Structure formats: C-alpha cells, structure tokens
Amino acid sequence: MFNRLVLIAAVAGAFVIAVYAAADKPAAAPAEKPLPEMKFNDVKELAPGVFFRYSSISATDKTIPFGGSNHTWVVFKDYVVVVDANFPKEAGDVVAAIKKTTNKPIRYVLDTHHHGDHAYGNSVWSKAGAQIVASKNAARLLKTNGPKQWEDASKDREDLRKTELKQADVVFEDKYVLDDGTQRVEFLQFGHSHTAGDAVAYLPHHKILCTGDACVNGSFNYMGHSNSGSWVKCLEGMQKLNVELICPGHGKVARKDLLETQKRYFVDLRAEVKKGIDAKKSLEEITIGLDLPWYKEWTGVAAKDNKDNVKHVYDELTGKIDHDRLGKTPAPLDWRAPADGVAVVRRD
Ligand SMILES: [Zn+2]
C-alpha cells in the first residue's frame, strides 16, 4: 500500500514537473484571442454564439454619424440575449443584423443604463418580443427622468417622435443570471459609475465583459451623471472578473487592460484636479494646465479638451455635487446645485 502511494506520488510529481516544464516554454502558453478588425456596423462572432456589432462613433471626425451604443448578443439554445437597446432607429438596424446571425427569438435586452443611446430603443425590442432588463436604479432613472429627457431628445430625433418610451420589464438589484447550460450571461451592478444604474454583462464561459458606458474605448466618457470616485471602485470590481475581452459601450473591442486604462483616466483626472484645488487654482487654470499625454495617445483627444469632465470632477471635489441626488435616492436627475450652480448636462 505504502509502495503504491509512493508510486502514485512519484507519477503525480513527474506530471507536475512536466506541466511546469511545458509552462516554461512560450509555445505552450495559451494564445491570446486576436482582437477583431472591424469597420463601423460590422458584426463579428467573438466566441461561439457571441456576436459583437461595432457602432459608428468618433470624437474627432464630425463626418462620422453617431450610431449609438455598441451591441453584443448571445445565442442561447432557444433564444437570444442582447446587450443595450440603442435609439429606436439603430435598434431596428440591430434587430435586422441579429436576424442574419440566428433565427432564434430575441428574448432579453439589457439596458446597461438609462441614457437614450442605450435605452430609448426599448419599444423596438419589445415589439420584437423581448423583455427589457435593467438594474433597479437604471429602471428608476428611466422612469423618473426618462419622459422629460425623451421629450427634449425627440426635438432632434425623428425616430423618437415616431415611437414611445418603453420602461423596463425585469428589474434586478445586484445580479441577474441567464443560464441554459449552453450559455451563461450575468448582469452585474457594481455601483455608481457612469450613472447610478450601470450594469455590465459578464460571459464567464467566454471571458467576455460587456461594459456599457462604465468602460469605453476612446474619448467617449460623459461624466455628468457619474460618481468618479465610486467609478474607480466599480472598475476595480470588474478587474477581479476572469476576463480576456472587453466589449465597451462605445469604441473598439479591447483586451482586459482597457479596464485599467479607463480607470487611470479617472484616477489621474481626480489627482490633477485635486492638486489644482489644493494650490488654489481656478477651474480654468486647472483645465488649461491638465496634461495627460497618455490619454491623448489612447483617445486622440487631449484631456484638457474634455472640459465638462474636468468641471464635473472639480465640482465633485469641491462638494458641489450631491451624488445621492444623481441616483441613489429618488430625486430628479436634472437638478441644479445651489450657489454658483452645477448644470448637470444631459447627453441624450
Ligand atoms: Zn451613457
């Protein structure tokens, strides 16, 4: 018996050594998934049954029309799960794109948050037979602030004038899981980041994370409804997930390090603005002096040119923004701070 155990131990030991030896050789290291080369509106299958649509956007080229949010959809055994609803016109385009990849019915659509380019197409998806899923805060913000924001946005958008705002059907607190044994999608709420209601979609089998606007790839961060301090913590939470690919709300698919890059923007922005405030500099002086060369390298835009973001962080760090009023408590989102006033500018 003892001898047999020794033999087993020796064989197991040899196996461990063999595995370690194999791991030493670069050839044995698992190959990184290649990043897809995509043009605007292209659809690529990133993993079996997981499709990504890259929507048009540019922070620098005004000739490129804004195509709303990116989309990921996952084909389950009997149905399709979609990340983000986009505007109604684009939602129609995406429904058509999905039908080219599968004839299964679209059953769930996640509004990653309540902004127009992620939620206003809800009625289109609903008519296609889908249930709209949102975090509790996203659903509440769409309900309390949606109608007024929709009305404002519809002045510039014919598709909004021709359709109506549809609220969420399925609302979850922290986590909502869809799993049929073939595919698994986890909708996760990490806290107040881009908005108080952001949810991401995690595909653990494929190590893919669809982040909505909680993480974008390029100069596409709108911070007007954000809590930048909490946003950093949310990104740190996402970094703990076993992920290889990030499907951002806007911009190209990237590797996991996009989460670190996105986080660095808020960490550096907060540090630089704080330094300026401590040195008793004005917002203008801080903005002009903001120098983050790596950010321009990443996005093509100088950090100081995103003036609204600098102002938002300045207002946060000087106590002019009550984050609870931006989402945690049922208060209107479009509020103006007292004293010199913080206009929370809407994007949608
Ligand atoms: Zn947004």
Domain with residue 47: its CATH number is 3.60.15.10
For residue 51, the CA-to-ligand 1 centroid distance in Å is 21
Q: Rounded distance, CA 208 to CA 254, Å?
A: 10
CA of 113 to the centre of ligand 1 (A): 7
Residue 314 within a domain? no
The dihedral sign for the CA sequence 267, 236, 318, 328: positive
- Separation between Cα atoms, residue 223 and residue 216, nearest integer Å: 12
- What pLDDT does residue 139 have? 93
Say yes or no: 89 and 218 in one domain: yes
- C-alpha of residue 30 to centroid of ligand 1, in Å: 35
C-alpha 136 – ligand 1 centre gap (Å):
16
pLDDT digits 0-9 by tens, 308-342: 999 999 999 999 988 877 765 554 444 333 333 33
Residue 344 lies in a domain: no
Q: What pLDDT sits at residue 34?
A: 77
Residues spanned by the domain of 21 = 1-30
Give the distance (Å) from ligand 1 centre to CA of residue 262: 15
Distance CA 178, CA 77 (A): 12
Rounded distance from Cα 115 to ligand 1 centre (Å)? 5
Tokens representing 281 are 């500099």
> Total structural domains in the chain?
2
Residues of the chain under the 50 pLDDT cut? 1-25, 331-348
SS3 assignment, position 222: coil
Q: How far is the CA of 68 from the centre of ligand 1 (A)?
A: 10
Per-residue CA distances from 234 to 97, 181, 215, 229 (Å):
31, 28, 10, 9
Question: Same domain, yes or no, for 5 and 96?
Answer: no
pLDDT at 332: 45
Q: What is the pLDDT of residue 22?
A: 44
User: What local confidence, expressed as pLDDT, does residue 70 receive?
Assistant: 97
Distance of CA 194 from the midpoint of ligand 1 (Å): 7
